[in-house]
Structure 1
Amino acid sequence: MLKIDGITRRFGDVTALDGVSLEIGQGEFFALLGPSGCGKTTLLRILAGFETPDGGSVSLDGADLLTLAPNKRPINLMFQSYALFPHMSVAKNVAYGLEREKLPRGEVKKRVGEVLETVGLSTQANRKPQQLSGGQRQRVALARAIVKRPRLLLLDEPLSALDKKVRADMQLELKRLQHEVGITFVVVTHDQEEAMSLADRIAVFDTGRVRQVDRPVELYERPRSRFVADFVGANNLFAGTAGPDGTLRTENFGTLRGTAVEQVPEGAAALLAVRPEKLELTGDGPLTGTVLDVSFYGGVSHISVEVPGQAKPVLVAVQGASAVKPGAEVGLQWGERDAVLLPAVQ
């Protein structure tokens, strides 16, 4: 539905977007994920019409989007701050865009009623924004965005103003709403958990470029670059040179087993990425070390292990409370398919 081809945007000497190309399908929940300053919000503003790219094209259903004024695009942007009118009721906030289009009063009332029912705010229709919780204000902003029935809804860090518990509830709510209304959602976030829980597919941005586009599970389990492996979730990275069949030759640990996702030439500088939950504590293993710390997080324990020859402690995640204590000598092992061989360069 949406095709972004070679989009470039510069601000003086800074290149915010460097030849970004993406394709987003009808009805997809698509996330732009990356650290602050990586260019994801700039791309969102280009789609909304608030920024003009220096190069590249954007088409919606095959039609050029960049030639249309922001108010003529079948797109709505839900702001990070929600930007609700404080003097208007919930219903008036939601109706504002429809009234500006001069739709019949009966049609406006019907559509506002339907969308407030969808987001579960029918009983709050006459309240002002300051009388609502953060989660409720977020729903008002969402209702105002979807009541105009855009082809594409852009969300800029939509849940960042909410506390952790409300954010988790609203993640489920956003996903439910997206399926219910059938609108294509594009969400910008720097929160990996948020992107993983919401999106059908994720584009990982770094310094104005797209490093990888994949479904959440593939992105997590099969990163294709050092940046993605390090940015998306916790990872243990071991350095060496690429051996045959996805193995890594190291100076301190001999040959470590793994699986190659990207082709890494034998003898080239490489990394082996192993997720904390893929590591097992044993009496012996390819790595041995000393437990530094054990942290309990309810359902999971994180165990930090100092391994001689490894610059950073190795992180191990185990289910439930761990019986291992700081100072214990342990071995570490993993399955061949649980480690990913990557090129050392970005």
Structure 2
Amino acid sequence: MLKIDGITRRFGDVTALDDVSLEIGQGEFFALLGPSGCGKTTLLRIIAGFETPDGGTVTLDGEDLLGRQPNRRPISLMFQSYALFPHMTVAKNVAYGLEREKLPRQEIKKRVGEVLETVGLSAHGDRKPAQLSGGQRQRVALARSIVKRPRLLLLDEPLSALDKKVRADMQLELKRLQNEVGITFVVVTHDQEEAMSLADRIAVFEHGHVRQVDEPVALYERPRTPFVADFVGANNLFEGTTGAGALLTEDFGPLPGTPLDGLEEGAKALLGVRPEKIRLVEAGTVAGGLKGAVLDVSFYGGVSHISVDVPGHVRPVLVAVQGASGVQPGAEVDLSWEAPDAVIIPGAR
């Protein structure tokens, strides 16, 4: 549906986007993920029409999008700040875009009523934004964005202003709403959990480049670059060279892992193993593997995070176990994992 081909955007000496190409399908929930300053919001603004690229094309259903004025594009953009009119009621905020298009009054009333019911705000139509909670204001902004029935809805950090509990609720609400209305969503976020829980596919950005596009599970379990392995979720990374079913390291010997396809033996590589894939047992229980001392144990309700100091490794190794952990700081432990649970990728940090 949306094809972005070779988009480049420079601001003076800074290249915000460097030859970015993406394809986004009809009805897809697509996330642009990356740290601040990586170019994801610039791309969103180009799609919306607020920025003009220095090169490349953007087409929607095969038609050139860049040659159309922002108000002539079948696109809605939901801002990070929501940008609601404080002097208007909820219903008036939602109806504003339709009124500007001079739709019949009965049509406006019908569509506003339908969309307020969809977002669960039918009883709040007469309220002003100041009388609503953060989550309710976010729903009003969503309702205003979808009431015009755009082909594409762009969301710029839509949940960043909400507290953690409301954010979790609204993640579910966004996904439900997207499935219900059938609009293609493109969301910009720097929050990995948000992207993983919402999106059908994710594009990871770094310094204006797309490093990987994949479904959330594949992105998490099989990152293809050192940046993606380090940025998406918690990961323990070890440097070495590729061996047969293992990463060969100077300090720890062979560490079990599964190399990505096409990775030659003897090449410089990184092994990434997720905290929940590591087994932690008393010292002396496992022959070989990693050995260390527990630095800290943090309990997060459903899971405990254990930091282990492994001599020769730059960072503490993070281990995640279900529930409360019986291990105490200072305990000597062995660490191990299975080869299929760790991925070996090309390059080094």
TM-score band, normalised by the shorter chain? over 0.9
Using the aligned pairs only, state the percent identity.
80
Alignment match, 1:344: 347
State the distance in 1 between where 2:87 and 2:296 align. Answer: 53
Aligned equivalent of 1:278? 277
Q: Write the mapping of 1:287-302 to structure 2, written as runs, cut at 5 A.
A: 287-302=290-305
Report how far residue 54 of structure 1 moved.
0.4
1:318-333 map, 5 Å: 318-333=321-336
Counterpart residue identity of residue 253, structure 1: F
Measure the CA separation in 2 of the matches of 1:137 and 1:295. 35
Superposed CA deviations along residues 192-229 of structure 1, whole A, max 9, x for unmatched, are 00000000000000000000000000100110011001
C-alpha distance in 2 between matches for 1:251 and 1:332: 17
Q: Secondary structure at the match of 1:81?
A: coil
Closer/same/farther in 2, CA of residues 50 and 79 from structure 1, 3 Å limit: same
CA distance in 1, matches of 2:338, 2:134: 44
Q: Within 1, Cα distance between the matches of 2:64 and 2:164?
A: 39
Q: C-alpha root-mean-square deviation of aligned residues, in Å?
A: 0.9
Tell me the alpha carbon deviations over residues 67-101 of structure 1, each in whole angstroms, 9 at most, x when there is no partner: 00000000000000000001100000000000000
One-letter amino acid matched to 2:10: R
Structure 1 unmatched runs, 5+: none
Q: CA deviation at 1:257?
A: 1.2
Q: Tell me, in whole angstroms, the C-alpha distance in 2 between the residues paired with 1:134 and 1:229.
A: 33
Equivalent position amino acid for 2:274 in 1: R
Q: CA deviation at 1:265?
A: 2.4
What is the CA–CA distance in structure 1 between the aligned matches of 2:21 and 2:110, rounded to whole Å? 39
Mean alpha-carbon deviation: is it higher for 306-315 or for 146-155?
306-315
Q: Number of paired residues?
A: 345
Q: Helix, strand or coil: the match of 2:173?
A: helix
Following TM superposition, the consecutive aligned residue runs of length 4 or more in structure 1 with deviations greater than 6 angstroms are: none
- Aligned amino acid, residue 297 of structure 1: Y
1:266 match = 265
Q: In the superposition, relative to structure 1, how do residues 72 and 176 fare at CA in structure 2: closer, same or farther (>3 Å)?
A: same
The residue type equivalent to 2:19 in the other structure is: G
Specify the SS of the correspondent of 2:263. coil
Q: Deviations over 1:154-197 (max 9, x none)?
A: 00000000000000000000000000000000000000000000
Tell me if structure 2 keeps the 8 A contact 1:262–1:342: no
For 2:5, the equivalent position in structure 1 comes to: 5
Contact 1:234–1:276 at 8 Å: present in 2 too? yes
Structure 2: distance between partners of 1:262 and 1:98: 52
Instruction: State the alpha-carbon separation in 2 of the partners of residues 59 and 173 from structure 1.
Output: 29
Displacement after TM superposition at 1:243 (Å): 1.4
Q: Quick one: which of 295, 320, 332 aligns to 1:317? A: 320
TM-score, normalised to structure 2's length? 0.98
- The answer to whether structure 1 residue 97 and structure 2 residue 97 are counterparts is yes
The 5 A counterparts of 1:32-71 are: 32-71=32-71
What's the secondary structure of 2:51's corresponding residue? coil
Q: How big is the shift at 1:130?
A: 0.5
Report if aligned partners of 1:290, 1:306 keep a CA contact under 8 Å in 2. yes
Contact 2:58 2:64 in 1 (8 A): yes
